Amino acid sequence: MKTIAILGKPNVGKSSLFNRLIKQQLAITSNVSGTTRDVKKARFELSGVEVEIIDTGGLEKAQGLFAKVSEHSLQAAQEADLVLYMVDGSMMPQDDDIAHFRKIQKSGKMLILVVNKVDNDKIKLRAWDFASFGTESLCFISVQHNRGISILLEEIFEMLHLASEQPLSAHLRGELAGEIDESLEEFLASIESPMQSQQECIAVGIIGRVNVGKSSILNALLGKERSVVSEVAGTTIDPVDDEVQIEDKTLRFVDTAGIRRASKIYGIEKFALERTNRVLAQSHIAILVLDVSAPFVELDEKISSLIPKHRLGVIVVFNKWDKKYADFKQIKADFDKRFAFLSFAPTMSLSALNGRNIHKLKQEVLKVYERFCYRIPTSALNDCIAQATARHQIPSDHGKLVKIYYATQYASKPPQIALVSNRPQSLHFSYKRYLINMLRKQFDFEGVPILLSAKDKNAPKDETTRE
pLDDT tens per residue across span 236-254: 455 577 788 888 899 998 8
User: Angle at Cα 46 formed by Cα 124 and Cα 84, nearest 5°?
Assistant: 45
CA pair distance 443, 174, nearest whole angstrom: 54
pLDDT tens, 352-408?
778 788 999 999 999 999 999 999 999 999 999 999 999 999 998 888 898 999 999
Q: Domain 378-456, what fold?
A: GMP Synthetase; Chain A, domain 3 (3.30.300)
pLDDT value for 224: 73
Please state which of the ranges 132-136, 256-260, 360-364, 406-410 shows the lowest mean pLDDT. Answer: 256-260
Contact 258, 236 (CB under 8 A): yes
Q: What ranges in 282-377 are assigned the alpha helix state H?
A: 298-304, 306-309, 328-338, 358-372
Domain 201-226+238-372 has CATH 3.40.50.300: yes
Q: Determine the residue type at 390.
A: A
Topology match between the domains 2-160 and 378-456: no
Sequence ranges of the binding site: 8-15, 55-59, 116-119, 208-215, 255-259, 319-322
pTM exceeds 0.75 for this model: no
Domain 2-160 has CATH 3.40.50.880: no
Sequence ranges of the binding site for GTP: 8-15, 55-59, 116-119, 208-215, 255-259, 319-322
232 or 141: which leads in pLDDT: 141
pLDDT tens, 311-360?
999 999 999 998 999 999 999 999 999 999 999 999 999 887 787 889 99
pLDDT value for 171: 45
Residue extents of the structural domains in the chain: 2-160, 201-226+238-372, 378-456
pLDDT tens, 101-132?
988 888 888 999 999 999 888 888 888 889 88
> What percent of the chain shows pLDDT beyond 90?
41
294 or 28: which leads in pLDDT: 294
pLDDT tens, 54-89?
888 777 665 444 456 567 777 877 888 999 999 999
CA distance to 47, 49, 191, 332, per residue, from 168 (Å)? 12, 11, 9, 58
CA pair distance 434, 428, nearest whole angstrom: 10
pLDDT value for 73: 73
